[in-house]
Structure 1
């Protein structure tokens, strides 16, 4: 069990302690390298390794189990560890994820990784699962930047792509636009990087992941926003008023000419001291500009009861798909910078779908202040393994279509996809589907639709209302202005929420 005021993470040792679940002997320890861990096995009846709960560590165990289900993360860590030395998180993380992916009926304590992570924590207190993911992903980003600085110009001057460092699979780009509703002026569209996305949940019994993403990328309207163009126009008007009173003032005349020149040339964003500022209503919107290889979605479940001032857990059931199409929430390459009433980018019928496959989820049971984290994850199959026994040049992991595991610390059991989809997620980890796999998915979906259409199509004359297309009800989940969660989901994409433990 975990609580917000849990104890500090306990550091058992700087080694991996491999413990058999049937014989927990703390003296059984072996120091291993990632190349010592074989992921290949002909025994399909084995489960995968669990993680021992050392006291309030279920948040850690659930995140590590979820990360271990991501082939693109395994590949990234292997590549960057081969190209760069002295990466204090990437190396032990890869070893931990490989241990959690190998067929096994054992459990262990990831003590080396925990020891390193505890040095990164500011207050050394027990953390929330999303906060831990944020810590790991941000540290991986920092190590990637460090590795690029170490390579220097050598990677830029090299003609081979093999020498270049891969980008962190969690990193994506967000396009943000702010437009004035009065004059139509749009500031330069700014791009921000992110490694996970926080979704605000409605105060309803249930919602869908698509509705949450729609709300996240929907246009919103802000009051009292300073518009640079309106301010420039008002400053020119103010200067003209002064000139009418003192036509011979050469300084005012020069100022007016300079301001009018800036306005005519569209040099709105040049930093100049304004005589007055003008505020008004602006539209704001954010969309995905570059999709990450691994998409981490966090359902922010901390809510505030305005009548009592107490924070409680939002238990809204989130329905989510196995295959997620992110393209409706992404820019299509043509950005709208002229009409503040229109979205940044409108979906194109010819746009290539950006599809993701569900790989793992983290679920929280209990109240806001007390509960337990577990994980669901896919089984991974090793087509190649770079361990000393297999001697392949790299590890190639493929997801299993139907085999899933439900993991609560050291307890591991097989489950079905239906079990996963019926759970209420706290975090979801999706992995981008390659283009050739997208075509396979679309073919399967078309075949299912054709079969369903053949079965359900009623026999009726063309004029029958049974054949008339049904009108889809539009349901918009919006956040009231008094909801304190609004800012965290819309603006602070990487801000850690109140811990739910």
Structure 2
């Protein structure tokens, strides 16, 4: 048996380490190949089954979202509520379409009436006039067109290009009407609602009151609008044909108010005031019990007692009994009644959760408000028969009424107020009758 020397041992060790290093290098190369294959497979899976441009489109039946441009939650909440009002969308479509057709009819009529005797200077002046009129009309209807585009995209069941909408264009359109609304500051949604309605009313007022003679499409639509046109028995001149876009927006309604003297029972004429939303305060209820919408409406129309009001009828009667001597004006107690004279097509209700304590500190009401599925407005409407019956009945102090005012002379302050803590509920009225269908719930 031969023994290995030191040289042979060193040679064996070097051969062993050399073989191990080559095996390790081959193993690292194999791992590199495996990693490259795995990366290629991952890229292939991402390309074949990964997200595509088509998947960004909104699916059918899904509601798109609204981008928050800073602190524009008030704007997004209002637009989402308005998108559930088909009457408003229909009115905007008619308004924008008819105002555009009026301008188109004027341009076509002027072009067809041109003769060969017109000079080139007259043609240029006419073209400049038409261009300026078109630009002014587009500016005047900027808010209505922008609002229609946003509401149509929010309410359309068909999938759109994007699932997120940017409502900043509406703020830009409002700024053209001199409204300074910052998207980085918290605003009041109720105040923004009145800004929109007043701007729409302003654009409506800028439209011509009667249809143009060359706007044959509008004239024909006006004649065919009613299936049973009423006959005119007057021999006087006929009224001008009303324009279709001159109709009020669906939030426009009218309130009636009248006052009656408790002493002489004389009742003042009924006064009609326009409104776009009803600001309802909370009635006094037992702690822990919910508040219903009917209670808020009943509290809104409850009678209001006003003291120390000058009554001309009582003064005249007193003068007759005192041998026509000059007497001071008689001041008595009046009862003021508020009701709904004309229901809007879409009723907007603003719940006033901000109240004031006797010490003057602001208090927020946290009561839950119950909404029924159907809301009957018969009891809140003004009726001429009820008014005539009320003239023969002397108002008494025993008549129930809520006393929620802080002023001792005015027990019930029912005037709509704007505050910073609000919630709006939109109610859609049916085609027949005063019954309203509930669209939104409120908590």
Question: Structure 2-normalised TM-score?
Answer: 0.59
Take 1:190 and 1:298, find their aligned partners in 2: how far apart are those partners? Answer: 23
Unmatched 5+ stretches in structure 2: 1-50, 101-136, 227-242, 424-443
Match of 1:72 among 87, 90, 98: 87
1:294-349 CA-partner distances (Å, limit 9, x unpaired): 00011011111223x321321111111121111111124424146358699xxxxx
1:75-133 CA-partner distances (Å, limit 9, x unpaired): 00000111115312211110110111124571121121111224543675642111111
After TM superposition, list the pairs within 5 Å mapping 1:46-85 onto structure 2.
Answer: 46-85=61-100
CA contact (8 A) 1:202 1:316 kept: no
Decide whether aligned partners of structure 1 residues 116 and 239 sit closer, same or farther in structure 2, where only a CA change above 3 A counts: farther
Decide whether aligned partners of structure 1 residues 101 and 481 sit closer, same or farther in structure 2, where only a CA change above 3 A counts: closer
CA contact (8 A) 1:138 1:195 kept: no
Match of 1:143 among 165, 178, 203: 203
Take 2:64 and 2:346, find their aligned partners in 1: how far apart are those partners? Answer: 23
1:481 and 2:430 matched: no
CA contact (8 A) 1:211 1:477 kept: no
| Higher relative contact order structure (alpha carbons within 8 Å, sequence separation ≥ 6) | 1
Decide whether aligned partners of structure 1 residues 98 and 50 sit closer, same or farther in structure 2, where only a CA change above 3 A counts: same
State the partner residue of 1:392: none
Decide whether aligned partners of structure 1 residues 482 and 60 sit closer, same or farther in structure 2, where only a CA change above 3 A counts: same
Decide whether aligned partners of structure 1 residues 313 and 148 sit closer, same or farther in structure 2, where only a CA change above 3 A counts: farther
Take 1:140 and 1:160, find their aligned partners in 2: how far apart are those partners? Answer: 26
CA contact (8 A) 2:257 2:271 kept: yes
**1:135 match: secondary structure:** helix
State the partner residue of 2:171: 114
State the partner residue of 1:301: 353
After TM superposition, list the pairs within 5 Å mapping 1:427-466 onto structure 2.
Answer: none
1:21-72 CA-partner distances (Å, limit 9, x unpaired): x999xxx9xxxxxxxxxxxx9x65x411111111221111100100011111
- 1:193: Cα distance to partner? 1.2
Decide whether aligned partners of structure 1 residues 234 and 211 sit closer, same or farther in structure 2, where only a CA change above 3 A counts: same
Match of 1:97 among 131, 145, 151: 151
Structure 1 stretch 221-230 or stretch 162-171: which is displaced more?
162-171
Take 2:374 and 2:172, find their aligned partners in 1: how far apart are those partners? Answer: 36
CA contact (8 A) 2:305 2:412 kept: no
State the partner residue of 1:285: 337
- Alignment length (residue pairs): 297
State the partner residue of 2:35: none
Take 1:123 and 1:111, find their aligned partners in 2: how far apart are those partners? Answer: 11
State the partner residue of 1:178: 259
State the partner residue of 1:497: 419
CA contact (8 A) 1:185 1:338 kept: no
Decide whether aligned partners of structure 1 residues 58 and 477 sit closer, same or farther in structure 2, where only a CA change above 3 A counts: farther
CA contact (8 A) 1:174 1:287 kept: yes
State the partner residue of 1:161: 225
Match of 1:313 among 361, 364, 368: 364
1:221 and 2:305 matched: yes
Question: Structure 1-normalised TM-score?
Answer: 0.52
- 1:189: Cα distance to partner? 0.6
CA contact (8 A) 1:302 1:497 kept: yes
Take 2:86 and 2:198, find their aligned partners in 1: how far apart are those partners? Answer: 19
Take 1:48 and 1:497, find their aligned partners in 2: how far apart are those partners? Answer: 30
Decide whether aligned partners of structure 1 residues 278 and 483 sit closer, same or farther in structure 2, where only a CA change above 3 A counts: closer
- 1:481: Cα distance to partner? 3.0
Decide whether aligned partners of structure 1 residues 299 and 123 sit closer, same or farther in structure 2, where only a CA change above 3 A counts: same
- 1:151: Cα distance to partner? 4.3
Structure number having the greater strand percentage: 1
State the partner residue of 1:198: 279
Decide whether aligned partners of structure 1 residues 498 and 338 sit closer, same or farther in structure 2, where only a CA change above 3 A counts: same
State the partner residue of 1:445: none
Take 2:332 and 2:279, find their aligned partners in 1: how far apart are those partners? Answer: 28
Decide whether aligned partners of structure 1 residues 240 and 338 sit closer, same or farther in structure 2, where only a CA change above 3 A counts: farther
Take 2:78 and 2:199, find their aligned partners in 1: how far apart are those partners? Answer: 15
Larger Rg over CA atoms: 2
Give the root-mean-square deviation of aligned CA atoms: 3.7
- 1:241: Cα distance to partner? 2.7
CA contact (8 A) 2:403 2:411 kept: no
CA contact (8 A) 1:234 1:276 kept: no
State the partner residue of 1:232: 316
